[in-house]
Homo-oligomer: A and B are copies of this chain.
Amino acid sequence: MTARDLEELSPAEALRLLAGAPIGRIVFTRHALPAIRPVNHLVTGGQIIIRSNPGTVLSTEVAPSGAVVAFEADELDAERRLGWSVIVTGVARLVSDLEEAARYRARLRPWVSGEMDQVVRISPEIVTGFRLRPAPSTTI
């Protein structure tokens, strides 16, 4: 299998890819330990919106305290070893404006049954991403 080079993505390109990804993963700290949850999301006005169950750590601790989280999405083809990954780091906060929250809820359908009443906004501060592409041949 040919090795690949990592090509850095611009923040704009990274956010564009993130917006088109069906799944993302929110990464946060829970009792000083790293935690991660897969979620569906939308990107609007440069911000990432997710929904969260009212009883979860995300809703009760992370978002109310304006904690820093990471958000990751990727589309990596293990067979061909091509694809991309995007990682955003930023502050998570509950969306408190009722109309705004309702608008996002209409666009962001939860996958699982049950309440998903909280809407969380992640404001990106650092946006990084890479794309894997074929490494140039080293033969002469």
Contact = CB atoms under 8 A, between A and B. Distances in A.
A89 interface: yes
A28 B38 contact: no
Contact of A3 (B5, B27, B32, B112): B112
Looking at chain A, what size class is its interface with the partner chain?
35 or more
A111 B135 contact: no
Nearest to A111: B81
A65 to B, nearest CB: 14
Contacts of A72: 25, 36, 38
Interface of A: 1, 3-6, 22-23, 25, 27-29, 32-38, 40, 68-70, 72, 74, 76, 78-79, 81, 85, 87, 89, 109-113, 132, 135
13 contacts: A3-B111, A6-B112, A22-B79, A27-B35, A29-B29, A33-B70, A34-B68, A35-B87, A36-B87, A37-B87, A81-B111, A111-B132, A112-B132
